[in-house]
Structure 1
Amino acid sequence: MGIDIQRFHETFFEESREGLQILEAGLLALDRGAADPDALNRIFRAAHSIKGGAGTFGFTAIADFTHGVESTLDQLREGRLTPDRDLIDILLRAADVMGMLLDAAQSGDDVEIDAITATQQALAAYQPQTSIVCDDATASLAPTTEITWRIRFQPHEALFASGNEPLRLLRELSGLGALQVEADPARLPPLDTLDPEACYLGWTLTLTTNASRAQVEEIFAWVEDECDLEIEPLPAPSPGPSAATADGDEPPARRQSAAGGESSLRVSVDKIDALINLVGELVINQAMLQQQAQDLDPVHNEMLLSGLSQLELHTRRLQEAVMATRMVPMAFVFNRFPRVVRDLAGRLGKRVQLETLGESTELDRGVIERITDPLNHIVRNSLDHGLETPEQRRAAGKPETGTVTLEASHEGGHIVIRVSDDGRGLDRDRLLAKAAERGIPCQESMSNIEVWQLIFAPGFSTAAAVTDVSGRGVGMDVVKRNITNLGGQVEVASETGRGTDITIRLPLTLAILDGMTVAVGAENYIIPLHSVVESLQPGGADVRRLAGSSKVVRFREEFLPLVSAAAFFGVERAAGDNGAVIVVVESGGQRLALQVDDLLGQQQVVIKSLEANYRHVAGVAGATILGDGRVALILDIGELIGATRRPAAA
């Protein structure tokens, strides 16, 4: 029975891209002077693992190119090269080329031959035969005499399942010196029970080489968690009795997967999503049972009600556990920005320090995938528009190096992401002038919060000239729309000369929502709880009619537009205005008073896409199924506010 190696390719590509992230992060740490020997070893192992995996699966272009990267990194690791900015630039370009080659191998994308060739030539300039001079101090890092190593290599039975081939490792090991191989068949089962896809053989290897222990260990880096490994030096032959024990006190290097250690399993996102959908259906069914049980006699049905209570508890715990499988730390997003900031700062001639806080804060993977581009645009704007040049900062009495801070934290049932800089800040007068110039509605009487929101207007830009970084007036409106589509809000605070702070509030997940259920006629609607400011029953004097049919309501010394949910959605009211309740909602710094018939309570609901099953409905973000089996629409407060304010603006 043959093994279909193709099915392991996806794992190779995923792990290789993770290796590229480790490689890039380590190089950026080197650029900041923050690397240590362990970090250098991690960088080297990342490149070595990519090369080894590429060789295993026959991706020779990746393996050959990465070999040159690995050789240069080895020079760095042994202290023969200094990680100056030029070398880091070349290695970062090499990481980009490795990513391009991975894309080409995975999806058949074209490669830029000139970029590959230029990078290979740049790397070659750092090889020993062309530019490396090894002084006495660095020469002592490598063995000058041959050492004989005894290696006991016992792969785990599941080694083949990860696409690894032990014979490839033995061939690579033989490239270091003279190798003697002795197979250990002790674990071979009887032929009738043998699994052809399991690895039973082990090996005892004797290697005579002038390579270091680290170089020997690196051969097995790709499989270090999938084997038991012992490496020990053999005493060098000598006529003297003492020489035989020269290395006798040196403990063997042993790598063994701990049975009780933490392990991980790669699972398709589609499978996780299917599991979440099933749990969502279970939550709905549990809510239905709970609602039906409300009319039961608690005395005669004590056991049944107790069981339903336990079902509710376990359903909630199961729901939380399944949702946790989609949670990803914000480091997944933040780790890509050091490279973005470094490259863009160099192009703009600015000095920038990036600080990240709260990288361990977790967010739903679906949200993270859709927040990356908006964050990237905001960070680029901070560097381009927000931070000054070193000369401008020096003239303003600031340090020449500006700071951009990325911070993530949990606040209630939401995640808050802040992008702040200590740059020039927003200029109120300039924003108003640009808005008027482009025909965007604005007034001098607008508050600062309203003025700052002008940067999200379509086509708005304060750039003096169009560049490849910004200035076309495309971007910040898309940023806000993408965040709003995620059920989030974006706020801006700024102080001229001191900097700008952009705050994004997002739900932790796109699958479950904390909402307030309201009644409008015979229908129920869900208002996302993060959009609710307050609910109240206004007096007759608090509601005033403006010209036409518009109404406003007094709320804390300000007047808010009053919108009837019944009128907006075309629902017949069940009662007159006297029984109306007003819910003050907010999105994007703007507020609206929404008139409903009654408040029914707060609850978690499972979000269902309305567009996937019907079509887009204005003012509606999705739908859910209530405990009684009825469908309730989830309101899109941002779209609702926009739809009701547009006629006024016109």
Structure 2
Amino acid sequence: MDITRFHAAFFEESRENLDAMEAGLLAMESGSADGETINVVFRAAHSIKGGAATFGFTAISELTHQLETLLDEARSGRRQLDADAIGALLVSGDALRGLLAAAEHGDAIDTEGLKRAHDGLAKMMGREVAATTKAASKEPEIAEWRIGFKPAPSLFLSGNDPLRILRELAGHGELGVTALDNTLPKFSELDPYEAYIAWDLMLPGSVPRSAIDDAFAWVEDQCELAIEGIPATSAIAPPPAPVDSDNVVALDTRANSDARKATTADAGDTSIRVAVNKVDALINLVGELVITQAMLRQRSTQLDPVANELLLSGLELLDRNTRDLQEAVMGVRMLPVEFAFSRFPRMVRDLAARLDKKVRLRTSGEATELDKGVIEKIVDPLVHLVRNSIDHGLESPADRRAAGKDETGTISLNAQHQGGHIVIEITDDGRGLDRERILRKAAERGLPIGDNPTDAQVWDLVFHPGFSTAEQLTDLSGRGVGMDVVKKNIAALGGQVEIRSKKGTGTTVSIRLPLTLAILDGMTVAVGGEVFILPLNSVIESLQPAAGDIRTIAGEARVLRVREDYLPLVDLAAQYGLSGAQPGTHARNGIAVVVEADGQRLSLEVDELLGQQQVVVKNLEANYRRVQGISGATILGDGRVALIVDVGGLVQAQRMPQAA
């Protein structure tokens, strides 16, 4: 059998296990872990080791074996995981990620990182051995192991078999087995899918405790297990707890309850892995169905409602079902924001240690769902903002104490739905932005500043390219460095970003994003006999200008007066080369729509406003070619193609002549 076809599943599951392991270790370090956390971390490492050994990835299995040994001692209570040990385990996790990438893509192995991981684990093990040798020498030698093993009734349903476990234990030494069948029901009441028999097992003391734990690693959540080491000088010990007849009834009740909970949870959390391209194809087909349904609805308006009552009733039902189907399929691509937030605990920990600061990370709203494509593209801006908050937002512990603050600074990540959008906020309780300093830096750089600007206008200055108030730049970047890129990336997703800050109290950066990139809320406008879509989140207002509101500058560029401002005026018909377009005719006879992108406003000449609607976005570049000033296309209910205006591209095109 060709097992290479299972590699992709192994790599994906291993990365998920590494994420779980890292989250558990960070929880243990922060003191927020519960008693089950160490078991979760151990099982994650154990799963990676087993898969790597199966597929012949020796370097991965060797490192996870060393890592697993350390975790097993912690799990059994023989070791306390201090900050150094957790640090060594995290470094090993990083090395495992590198090994997985090398195995998956055929890249070269990072030998230095791998050696650092092995050395760190070896150091932890050596230190523990040195510290416990004296105590261990006084402990009595284990003569034999007694194991009480009572499977949960649902054990078979998870694909596990007690006899396989017994055979594995027998491979380590002579195994004494006593079957306890006192809970077997009458034959007529026996369910062949339930496990009824418990086991009293004996193994020589020469068998390592870790080998016994390994044998039960896959079922420890589905059984009652008691492992007892009997010293050589001890008399025969009573059986472990699960074998005690007084405890069997209580254990039965607990096991049945746990099994029912597990079965219910498994039924609710059942999932399958589906390639993203298959989901995208499904979404595309549903988009086509929505377009077809819109065509039918438009054509049906010409029918006689009395003669075609049943047909029109069926079309209404089709409309509702299509919308429900569209929402359900779009939900397939929706992922919790936790996928983006989960990388920050480790990053915050490492940056705090590197900068000698104390930082507390708080997250909320992780279950808030967002389109997978948006999540992937928002991660980099979030990373940049969090790094800036730690590097230049939070003060040093000494400065915070002097300011009467808790020496541990707090970074908060919050996500929540607001209408058809999601709002993500990054908040720190640091020094805040310095208004006078920003104004002084802006004046030095010659940036346009109005009289008595509001705080929001001042904070908006940090989004200018290269703007920074940091006295000394670091390799982590100062607050403001690269903020123009952050805003540009967010704007490319159809989002907006704003800053709120108070000196000495802290700063909040708020990001507003559409829930999905596949559907767009748009304003439909008519221009030169064609229909265009303006993204609704870019539209500020629409108006019918008077002839005196339009001015010509330098005999060519035209501007529109909107109250006290003059905005560049773009004739969309001329912009897109529509036949018979004469610049200036539309604004005099039609309507001007004011739009905004990258903090700059623009007025667009159109013939008519047709309405607002949700449209299914089609990639024009993939189906035709890239067109300047167009971000995509959609199909209207009458079958015509409508182009979606790239407002950001038009704004950028207006800036270039000014810069020249």
TM bin, normalised by shorter chain, reads 0.7 to 0.9
Larger deviation, residues 377-386 vs 78-87: 78-87
- 1:413 corresponds to which letter in structure 2? G
Q: 2:23 matched to 1:22?
A: no
Distance change in 2, residues 1:645/1:116 (3 Å):
closer
Partner of 2:109: 111
Q: Is the 8 A contact 1:619 1:635 kept in 2?
A: yes
Distance change in 2, residues 1:57/1:208 (3 Å):
farther
Separation in 1, partners of 2:154, 2:467: 64
Separation in 1, partners of 2:238, 2:488: 80
Partner of 1:192: none
Instruction: Trace 1:557-636 onto structure 2 (pairs within 5 A).
Output: 560-571=567-578, 572=580, 576-636=586-646
- 2:53 corresponds to which letter in structure 1? G
Give how far 1:338 is off. 0.8
- 1:333 corresponds to which letter in structure 2? A
Q: Is the 8 A contact 1:341 1:354 kept in 2?
A: yes
| Matching residue within 75, 80, 84 for 1:82 | 80
Partner of 2:562: 554
Larger deviation, residues 73-82 vs 570-579: 570-579
Give how far 1:179 is off. 4.7
- 1:265 corresponds to which letter in structure 2? I
Larger deviation, residues 7-16 vs 423-432: 423-432
Give how far 1:536 is off. 3.4
Q: Secondary structure at the match of 2:202?
A: strand
Percent identity between matched residues is 54
Q: Is the 8 A contact 1:45 1:218 kept in 2?
A: no
Q: 2:493 matched to 1:486?
A: yes
Q: 2:263 matched to 1:258?
A: yes
Q: 2:448 matched to 1:442?
A: yes
Distance change in 2, residues 1:239/1:420 (3 Å):
closer
Instruction: Trace 1:228-247 onto structure 2 (pairs within 5 A).
Output: 246=244
- 2:85 corresponds to which letter in structure 1? L
Separation in 2, partners of 1:591, 1:117: 56
Separation in 1, partners of 2:487, 2:437: 21
Separation in 1, partners of 2:472, 2:319: 60
Partner of 1:393: 400
Instruction: Trace 1:48-63 onto structure 2 (pairs within 5 A).
Output: 48-63=46-61
Q: Is the 8 A contact 1:153 1:204 kept in 2?
A: no
Q: Secondary structure at the match of 1:311?
A: helix
Q: Secondary structure at the match of 1:129?
A: helix
Give how far 1:630 is off. 1.4
Partner of 2:202: 208
Larger deviation, residues 270-279 vs 466-475: 466-475
Instruction: Trace 1:395-544 onto structure 2 (pairs within 5 A).
Output: 395-435=402-442, 441-443=447-449, 445=451, 448-470=455-477, 475-538=482-545
TM-score, normalised relative to structure 1:
0.83
Partner of 1:102: 100
What is the aligned residue count? 620
Q: Secondary structure at the match of 1:502?
A: strand
Partner of 2:146: 146
Give how far 1:245 is off. 6.4
Separation in 1, partners of 2:115, 2:145: 36
Partner of 2:388: 381
- 2:28 corresponds to which letter in structure 1? L
Q: Secondary structure at the match of 1:131?
A: helix
Give how far 1:173 is off. 4.3
Give how far 1:108 is off. 2.1
Separation in 2, partners of 1:367, 1:433: 36
Separation in 1, partners of 2:568, 2:240: 94
The root-mean-square deviation of aligned C-alpha atoms, in Å, is: 4.1
The C-alpha deviation readout for 1:200-259, integer Å capped at 9, x for no partner, is xxx99885347999986764555889xxx6667799998999999645524366786738
- 2:369 corresponds to which letter in structure 1? E
Partner of 2:299: 292
Larger deviation, residues 115-124 vs 67-76: 115-124
Q: Secondary structure at the match of 1:298?
A: coil
Distance change in 2, residues 1:353/1:313 (3 Å):
same
Q: 2:365 matched to 1:358?
A: yes
Partner of 2:185: none
Separation in 2, partners of 1:280, 1:607: 9
Distance change in 2, residues 1:388/1:470 (3 Å):
same
Q: Is the 8 A contact 2:392 2:478 kept in 1?
A: no
- 2:616 corresponds to which letter in structure 1? V
Separation in 1, partners of 2:119, 2:605: 70
Larger deviation, residues 582-591 vs 216-225: 216-225
Give how far 1:615 is off. 3.2
Separation in 2, partners of 1:379, 1:241: 55
- 2:263 corresponds to which letter in structure 1? A
- 1:591 corresponds to which letter in structure 2? R
- 1:108 corresponds to which letter in structure 2? G
Separation in 1, partners of 2:646, 2:176: 70
Give how far 1:53 is off. 2.1
Instruction: Trace 1:183-198 onto structure 2 (pairs within 5 A).
Output: none
Q: Is the 8 A contact 1:515 1:605 kept in 2?
A: yes
Larger deviation, residues 171-180 vs 559-568: 171-180
The C-alpha deviation readout for 1:130-163, integer Å capped at 9, x for no partner, is 3346979xx99x998423547699997996xxxx
Larger deviation, residues 267-276 vs 50-59: 50-59
| Matching residue within 49, 69, 72 for 1:71 | 69
Give how far 1:641 is off. 2.7
- 1:610 corresponds to which letter in structure 2? L
- 1:585 corresponds to which letter in structure 2? V
Q: Is the 8 A contact 2:520 2:614 kept in 1?
A: yes
Give how far 1:388 is off. 1.7
Q: Secondary structure at the match of 1:34?
A: coil
Give how far 1:434 is off. 4.3
Give how far 1:401 is off. 1.9
Larger deviation, residues 71-80 vs 286-295: 71-80
Gaps of 5+ in 1: 183-202
- 1:603 corresponds to which letter in structure 2? Q
Separation in 1, partners of 2:246, 2:225: 10
Q: Is the 8 A contact 1:56 1:168 kept in 2?
A: no
Separation in 2, partners of 1:634, 1:544: 28
TM-score, normalised relative to structure 2:
0.82
Separation in 1, partners of 2:69, 2:379: 34
Distance change in 2, residues 1:525/1:218 (3 Å):
farther
| Matching residue within 648, 651, 658 for 1:641 | 651
Separation in 1, partners of 2:169, 2:101: 29
Distance change in 2, residues 1:11/1:158 (3 Å):
farther
Instruction: Trace 1:303-314 onto structure 2 (pairs within 5 A).
Output: 303-314=310-321
Q: Secondary structure at the match of 1:501?
A: strand
Distance change in 2, residues 1:36/1:552 (3 Å):
same
Larger deviation, residues 246-255 vs 586-595: 246-255
- 2:327 corresponds to which letter in structure 1? E
Partner of 2:339: 332
Separation in 2, partners of 1:568, 1:132: 79
Give how far 1:537 is off. 3.3
- 1:595 corresponds to which letter in structure 2? E
Separation in 1, partners of 2:454, 2:398: 32
Separation in 2, partners of 1:41, 1:378: 34
Q: Secondary structure at the match of 1:126?
A: helix
Give 1 or 2: higher helix fraction: 2
Gaps of 5+ in 2: 179-196
Separation in 1, partners of 2:144, 2:8: 42
